[in-house]
């Protein structure tokens, strides 16, 4: 049973030309395909056909794709989702360019998830034969790949149960109303493997995107990215700073349509048997922004 | 160029050509509650009490409803005034964060007004 990773984030943008300039020239993604007002990208260290899809018209998230290890995982996840009470539909090869058969459902948080096993292999930009450490001529930030997303839901506890029961995810960190057993959940950070989080959920309106994130190597790369955002007039929301939650190093910023992006580095190794880190609301500022130790007025209100 | 008058303080902001309301206020040294500054989050809406404006980009339906497109709601980060406008902020007070920019903007507004007043009367181009 295995979701390996968030394979793709498919988002809406109001102006495709401006969005392309951001994701290609500032972020340094590689365009792999374009059709019907949609553009497909991958990072230099990703091997599957795409990890980011831009669709012209509106803002926010269209859907997330999740890649599983075995084709039999599709049947298992379908069975589990149905057992949870979610309607699942079959997705055919080609409904998403270069993505194989799979399943599609709407989560209790009203986000569309697609689960698939096959994607066209393009290969990383350094290849597999005696590969160099990175491509010589990266553009802009030159992000290696997609990392995770944060979404909002009215029922965070219910979404944690859904992701646990259907995706076999486990929580690495939580924000709870108290330390009591009957505490309500304000946020949960979840993964299927050693990555500190693949999807996080915080309380908020249904179906909304807080941000999706690209991975970077370390503090200096995060700082360098922030420098480039100033050069390219990218609005920075917060950072560079550290998250208390995950311990990751970060900059939050906005794409030309107002979708929040993040570059994220570090984060400790997750294990299912590691005790969950629990944060309480009076320390939430420190949990989110470890240095400023207070939330800004945008963290809980600015969503697309 | 259009002016933006802030109700109820009466503060007047002079805009550059094609400048948005948000850009003008920040360029004049003020700050108020904003989010993505790129038309996506709807946080920077103000109310337009007088005057007309247009949007310099397409604005998503999820950001601005059909009603809001006609009731004076002004998504300030994308709104470009076509005439002088009067706006009222919705949440929080207008914050002065850089008084030097305010002085520069005030001088620019006075120059523009002097220029506009001089031209039709004398037909002579201002030396400014």
Give the tens place of pLDDT for each residue, B64-117: 999 999 999 999 999 999 999 999 998 766 777 777 778 788 888 898 889 888
Whether the pLDDT of residue B121 is over 60: the answer is no
Q: Nearest chain B residue to A301 by CA: give it.
A: B43
Question: In this predicted structure, what is the pLDDT of residue B128?
Answer: 43
Of B35, B58, B62, the CB nearest to A301: B35
With contact defined as beta carbons under 8 Å apart, do A236 and A166 qualify? no
Question: In this predicted structure, what is the pLDDT of residue B93?
Answer: 67
B76/B97 Cα distance (integer angstroms): 18
- Domains in chain A: boundaries: 3-116, 145-288
Of A60, A257, A302, the CB nearest to B35: A302
B7/A27 Cα distance (integer angstroms): 40
If we measure between CA atoms, which residue out of B75, B64, B89 comes closest to residue B37?
A: B75
Whether the pLDDT of residue B8 is over 90: the answer is no
pTM of the complete model: 0.88
A211/A263 Cα distance (integer angstroms): 10
On whether any CB of chain B is under 8 Å from the CB of A130, the answer is no
Chain CA centroid to CA A186, Å: 19
What residues of chain B lie within 8 A of the CB of A297, using their CB? 33
On whether any CB of chain B is under 8 Å from the CB of A255, the answer is yes
A210 is catalytic: no
CB contact under 8 A, A14 and B37: no
A259/A61 Cα distance (integer angstroms): 9
Q: Can you name the CATH fold of A3-116?
A: 2,3-Dihydroxybiphenyl 1,2-Dioxygenase; domain 1 (3.10.180)
CB contact under 8 A, B41 and A237: no
B30-31/B95-96 β-pairing: antiparallel
Q: Which CATH architecture has domain B3-122?
A: Roll (3.10)
pLDDT higher at A76 or B120: A76
Chain CA centroid to CA B40, Å: 19
* Whole-number CA gyration radius for chain B: 15
For residue B4, list its beta bridge partners: B13, B85
Complex ipTM, two decimals? 0.73
Question: In this predicted structure, what is the pLDDT of residue B104?
Answer: 81
On whether any CB of chain B is under 8 Å from the CB of A126, the answer is no
On whether any CB of chain B is under 8 Å from the CB of A14, the answer is yes
A94/A292 Cα distance (integer angstroms): 46
Contacts (Cβ under 8 Å, ≥6 apart) of B36:
A235, A237, A254, A258, A259, A260, A302, A304, B43, B77
Q: Which CATH architecture has domain A145-288?
A: Roll (3.10)
Residues of chain A below pLDDT 50: none
> Which member of A10, A49, A50, A197 is catalytic?
A197
> Which member of A114, A148, A185, A221 is catalytic?
A148
pLDDT tens-digit profile of A59-106? Answer: 999 999 999 999 999 999 999 999 999 999 999 999 999 999 999 999
> What token pair was written down for A285?
């500022």
B71/B60 Cα distance (integer angstroms): 17
A137 is catalytic: no
**A204, A235, A258, A297: best to mutate for the B interface, most B CBs within 10 A:** A258
Lowest mean pLDDT among A38-47, B27-36, B39-48: B27-36
- Domains in chain B: boundaries: 3-122
Please report where in the chains the tokens 């620019």 appear, as a residue.
B108
**B27, B34, B41: best to mutate for the A interface, most A CBs within 10 A:** B41
CB contact under 8 A, A303 and B37: no
Please report where in the chains the tokens 């100033």 appear, as a residue.
A230
């Amino acid at each position: 049973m295995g979701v390996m990773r968030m394979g793709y984030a498919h988002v809406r943008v109001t102006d495709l030309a401006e969005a392309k300039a951001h994701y290609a020239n500032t972020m340094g993604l590689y365009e792999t395909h374009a059709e019907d007002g949609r553009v497909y990208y991958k990072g230099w260290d990703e091997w599957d056909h795409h990890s980011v899809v831009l669709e012209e018209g509106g803002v926010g998230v269209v859907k997330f794709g999740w890649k599983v290890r075995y084709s039999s995982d599709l049947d298992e996840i379908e069975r589990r989702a149905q057992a949870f009470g979610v309607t699942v539909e079959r997705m055919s090869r080609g409904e998403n360019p270069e993505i194989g058969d799979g399943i599609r459902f709407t989560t209790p948080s009203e986000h569309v998830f697609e689960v698939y096993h096959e994607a066209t292999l393009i290969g990383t930009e350094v290849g597999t034969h005696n590969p160099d450490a990175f491509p010589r001529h990266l553009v802009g930030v030159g992000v290696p790949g997609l990392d995770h997303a944060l979404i909002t839901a009215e029922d965070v506890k219910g979404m944690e149960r859904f992701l646990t029961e259907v995706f076999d995810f486990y929580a690495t960190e939580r924000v709870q109303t108290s330390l009591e057993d009957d505490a309500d959940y304000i946020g949960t950070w979840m993964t299927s493997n050693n990555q500190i989080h693949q999807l996080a959920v915080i309380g908020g309106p249904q179906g909304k995107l807080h941000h999706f994130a690209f991975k970077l190597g370390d503090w200096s790369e995060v700082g360098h990215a922030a420098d480039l955002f100033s050069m390219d007039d990218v609005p920075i929301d917060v950072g560079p700073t550290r998250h208390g939650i995950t311990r990751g190093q970060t900059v939050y910023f906005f794409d030309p349509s107002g979708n929040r992006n993040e570059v994220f580095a570090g984060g400790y190794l997750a294990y299912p048997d590691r005790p969950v880190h629990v944060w309480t609301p009076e320390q939430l500022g420190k949990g989110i922004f470890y240095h400023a130790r207070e939330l800004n007025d945008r963290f809980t209100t600015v969503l697309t | 160029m259009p002016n933006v008058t802030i109700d109820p303080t009466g503060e007047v902001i002079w805009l550059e050509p094609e400048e948005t309301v948000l850009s003008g206020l920040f360029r004049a040294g003020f700050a108020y509650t904003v989010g993505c500054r790129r038309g996506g989050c709807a946080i920077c809406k103000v109310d337009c009490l007088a005057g007309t404006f247009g949007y310099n980009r397409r604005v998503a339906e999820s950001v601005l409803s059909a009603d809001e497109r006609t009731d004076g709601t002004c998504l300030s980060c994308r709104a470009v005034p076509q005439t002088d406008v009067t706006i009222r902020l919705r949440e929080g007070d207008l914050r002065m964060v850089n008084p030097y920019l305010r002085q520069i903007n005030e001088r620019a507004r006075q120059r523009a007004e002097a220029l506009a007043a001089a031209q039709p009367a004398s037909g002579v181009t201002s030396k400014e």
